[in-house]
Every structure is written in C-alpha cells, then in structure tokens.
Chain A
C-alpha cells in the first residue's frame, strides 16, 4: 500500500516537473521570445507533463484493476500444482468407491425421470390433462434427488478428509493441503478462501478463519504481491522518466505542442463516450445472454413466451428443485402495460400539451417565471409518493364511484387508478419538453401570423403547433417510454394479478412489476422463474428502443418537410 502511494506521489511530482521543464525548454528554444513558438509556452508544459504522467498512470491503473487477481491466480495456481498428488489420490479413491458410483448412477436416472415428468406436465397443461399429478411427481423426485446429493457430498467430504490427513505436517505438506482445499471448493467458497488469505497476508480486513491452510496460502501470496507491487511502481517511474526524456528532445520552436495536447484531449473525451456506449452494450448483452438461458430453460418455446395468454411463474421453494416451472405466457403483462400506458397518456398528453401552450404563448413572463418551476417540482416528487397517493386516495375513490354507478366488482387496485396517477406524474415531463420545443419555434413565424391578422389561438393552432409538432411527437414518445418503464406506481396501485383484460377497473400487472416480483426476495439466479425476468427486461428494452426509433423517424420526416 505504502509503496503504491509513494509511486503515485513521485509520479505527481515528476509530472509537475515535466510541466515546468517543458515550459522552460520551449522558451529557451525560442531564445526567450515566446511569440516565436508555434504554441503558447504552457502547451509545451502540458505536452511534457502528459508524456511523463499519462503512460505511467495508465500502467498503475492497470495494476490497480488487474494486479490483485493476477497475484491470486499465480499464487494459488502454485499451490494447486503442489496439491497434484493429493488430487490424484482423491479422484482415484472416489473412482474405486462402489457406493459412491451407485449414487451417481441413481442421480442421473432421477434427473431423466424428472425431465420426462416435466415434459408430460407441459403437455397436460397445453392439452388440458392432469398437470397437477405430474407436478406432485416432480416434487417427490426433487426430494429424492436432494437426499442423494447430500449423501454424495458427505462421502466426498469423508474421502477428502482422509486424503488430506495423509499429507505430512511440513511446510510443503501444508501448502499441498491448502491447494487441495482450494481445488475442491465451489466458486463462492474459493472467493472466501482467497479473501481470508489476503486478509491475513496484507491486513485487508478481517479473516473469517485462521487455519494452517489459509496461513500457507497467505504466505504464498506475499512474494507474488511484492514482486508485482514493486515492479509496477518501478516500471511506472521508468516510464515517467523515459517519457519525460523522450518528449523533452522533441521540443523546438516550431513544434506543434498545442495540436498534440488537443489530440490527447480529444482522445480522452472519446474514451469517456466509449465508456457510456460500452456500458450500454454490456447491459444489453447481459440481458441477451440471461434471456437466452431463460429460453433454453423453457425449451426454446419463445412463441409461448411472446404469445401465451397465461402468466404464472411458479415460486421456487428450494434452490435445487427439479423441473420446477410455470406458465410463461407474457401477453397479460404486455396488455397490462399497454392499458396503463394508454390511460396515462390520455391524461398526460392533452393536459401537458395545453399547459405547455398556455405557459409559452399566453402566460405573462411573471406568471411563467414561477409556474414553470412549480410544474417541474411535480416531476421531482418521488414515484413512490405518487404510488401511495394512488393506493390510498385515488384507488378507493374510484372504487366508490364505480360501485355507486352500479359496478359491484370494483377493486381498489385497478389499472385506472395507476394509469391516472401515472398520467399526472408524466404531465410535467410532457409540458416541460413541449414548452421547450414551442419556445424554439422562431418568433418570426409568430410575427408573420400576427401580421396576417391572425389571433393568438389561430397562430398557435395553424403555425406554432405544426412547426413544433416533430418535437412534440418526440416528447410524447419519450413520455410513453417513461410510462412503459415506470414501476413503483404500478406495483402499489395496479395490483399484481396477471389478468388479461381491457377493463380499466380490474387489477392488472405490467412487465416492470413482474420483473420486480420475480427478482425480489431470496432467489437463486438460475431457475426459469428468475431468468424470465431477464427475458421480460429484454422485451421492455426492445419496446422502448422501437419507440425511440419511431420517434426519431417521425421527427426526421417533419424536419425534411419543414426545414
């Protein structure tokens, strides 16, 4: 730790020195007349400072990012190699153990049975047979398999203990046992093992165990760590000095330092935008891969997912339940999302637009000065507040109204209450964006219309509104994607029942709500139920993507027409 701190400080000093040398040398190269230089003297300073600091800091950053995991891999690889005899012995004993082999056979058989039971169940569900019976059978099979798995694990552990006990209590022996333990551990235990070893070796936090094996691993980590740390610091300093020396020789009166510095700035800016783009790509790809896993787990019945009318992802009771599955027909979710979005837009589009027109065309500057920020405060209200407003106030009110009108089945959590409140939430979004768009319409157009003897509302309807239309369409589509993606209000106000209905007084559920439901609480992350959340996320992403593409297209078409 101290060594890297020292390296960073030294680099900073070197960079500053580079700056000063660059300046000084540039002025000297021009015989003290700065106006002879191609660039201002400071640019020569920056140029030298960049050459000094940049490569070295990049190296240090790489070390910071990858150093630790490299050290871990190397050190534990060493231990694993030393554990090779133990590993061979362990595998040989298991292979010789007839009981263990029998258990393995049995597991395979049960899994095959479970698979066929599961397929039967799907068939029964499709064709209206007794799906329940297969579900029960699946439950029994699961229990059996779990029992066997526990037994196998116990046998393995027993063999492992006896094998490890044969290693001598010398340093090489302990190292071999550490490697053996690491080799046998499942991935999350491996991480724990490493973090414990690192904690002992470098005082990085507290270790959860302090065994002989961990101490051995800690000792194995240290030399590698030292090697890397010092070589990183050394190479960084060497790079800095080298860069300084190299760049120094290039400084002449005619040298275009300013262009070089400009180039580096451009590159840095490009990198930041690349980070934004790559992050997006990363998210999209992870969505894609998880969705593919989901589709694989439902045997690639993608059409059933996209067009199925029945949504009931079964709850996974235990992490390793076999063949647990449910119905993944997402149409009720799509329909619910569309219904709520429609209601929200029916509220937000007219009110937001008219508010925008009033604010930009009719309101006096003084009124506008406080009304616009006031509207925007509405946008700052956390959605969860809207959520309980919908749940506690709007929902019961709507229910009473519906009952009074003779609709007896009315419920508190309805698509209507969620949609109305979401519409209110989106109003400032629509009005603020449209207001900006309307304000961007050139005053010359309004003047032209007024000069023709048009009134204010004629001017708005015939000139300002058509001119602002592309922007307004864009604003509305953005509002739609907001509504589609909004979660909290719907979770609270629309209920969770995946009903396929067009009746706004019933409770519905949306894509986002289901994602929340699927992923909250204790879940393991590879059951079809959890994975389906990723597929839903993918669909949501594609939907908003299409919306945005359409928005851009519309805007472009109007632009072509009017510009």
Chain B
C-alpha cells in the first residue's frame, strides 16, 4: 500500500490550489451564490471562467499535449478533480463534451474532427449536449427512433430527444440517430454531430423537481447535418456510444468524496444549530452514511490504482456508480430525518440558510436515474460481474 501521490503530482496540486485561490471570486464560494444569479448569466460566468482556467494551463489535465491537454497522469486528474471540489470551483459548462466526446474523438475521430472539435471545446467556444434519450428510449436506448435520411452530402434529421442536459445553452449535440431506415435495435444507428443553431432544431426547457431547468427536450424537424459530421462511421453509432460512455470510468470518486463529505459536515453543522446533534438514533444514522462515504473514498483509491496499472475496469464502473449515487442519495435522506419539520423551510432560524442543502437533496433523487439507473447497473453487475443468467 502506498496512498501518496508523487512529488510532481503534489507540486501540481499546490500550484493548482494557488491558482484556484486567486481566481475564484470570494462570492462564488458561498454555497448559495449560484442560486442568486439568473440561469443564463450563471452559465455564461461558468463558461467564461472555465475558458480562463484552460488558458492558465488547467484544461484537459490527462489529455495528450497534441490535443491541447496537459499530458498529466491519472493521479493529476484525480488531484485536479479533488481540488476543484474542495475549492467549490464552478461546475464545468461543458462536462459532457469534455468527459465523453473529446476522448472518443481522440480515439476514433477523423483528423478534421480532431481539429474542429477539441480546441473549440477546450476554449468553451462550443458547448456540447448529449442527445441519446428519447421519450420512447431511456434505459432501453436501442429503442431510439430519431431518423436521419441522406440527402446529397447531408443527413435530414427528424424526431425528438429528451432530458438533454444544457440544451438551452448548447451549441452542438452528439446524437444517436437511426440512419438506416427500418433497422432495429443496435443496428443502423450513427452518432451525428448536429448544430443546434438552425431552424430545424428547437429546444424547450423542462422544469425539474428542484425548480431548475437544467435539461430540455429537443425537436428535430428536417434538421440538417453534413455526412462528414458523423463520429465513428455510419452505422457504427452503438459501438461509438458504448466507447463514449466507457470514458466515465476514472477516479472521480476522490472528488465526489470531497463534495459529499462537505455535505455531511454541513448537515452536521445544521443539526448542531438546531440542537439535534445529540439524538442517539440520528447520530447512528449519520455515522452509517459516513461509513458509505468513506468506503467510496477507499474504492476511489482502488480504482485509481487500477487505472494507473493500465487495467481495464470493465463493468466495475457500474459498481462505482451504485456506490456513489446510493451513498449520496441516502446521505440526504438522513438530512431530512435529522431536521424534521425545520428542514422543510429554507431558513428555520436566523442565520441558518438550508436552501442549498435542500436543493442538493432534490438533486440526489436524479443521480440514481441518469448515467444508467441503479436498476440497470444492478443488472450489469449481476450479469457481467457475477455471471448470473439474463
């Protein structure tokens, strides 16, 4: 066992920490800040901040330098994620592009795509959305119906996507489209890179239980996309999507721990303010939540080790997803138990603002749905890890 990072990695940490200290406005560190600015304005702030961060040398941490990345180690990426969480840095405006699309383009994109996509993404000139889910195709993604018909050197796209995160701010979509008419299931699908700023694409916001509208539905009516804007080859969309989703696997648990642990400490602080921190039943419930968070941290170190050793994580990412999402959600169930009726108002006593935690509590209801629901993850673990019959 050696749970330390290398001296170079620690040097990177202290430099990054210094930069974050100097470059995150004090107001932003207030947990309530992002709710005080209008959605559009907040998005632009994040978009701009992230671009400046890239210009300061902190973009694409583990990407090869030829793509504008830093060429860093997996350990540096883990440190980067952790420091961003600890500093309460703004959430990425381009998370889906940076996490999923960019590494896929690096792996299988054409030279033109590599040039066109990666640089502008790093500078946040193009914000990417993931257009996978449809009204009739959620967990069963292969049931998707949105169609693309070739017309000269362009596809004409018709259909609908839904739950599209950031669609109201997005510039382009990487979308799964059925380009072979009459095809079924995994066959005949292509991943098309669709410009959202055209008459045939309309995004309508959807309001979430938290009140925010982070996702939207997207309608395609004879939308057009160049045939060259197909990633991974025509008809290979399913394979491309599976590769793309595999890039979620990393050591993100280390930063998630930092975020969730802060949630735990804030919940404890709120309980103390309301004189509930001595209730023996609730103390044990809180402690059992911390057990799961600590396990997430240990698990993240295990995952990072696997990545550093060059091992294929395979279906292990389903285990990671189950652990973090369930632990996170249950932590906020305890938040409700702990505060009882006082937890239903945003400010039960003077100087105690619970709004951010309440917002987060609603958010945790979504984490067991997106990115593969908990039920789907359990199917994967049972069938692919444990070898139980389908």
Chain A complexes with chain B: no
Which A residues contact B (CB, under 8 angstroms)?
Answer: none
What residues of chain B have their CB less than 8 Å away from a CB belonging to chain A?
A: none
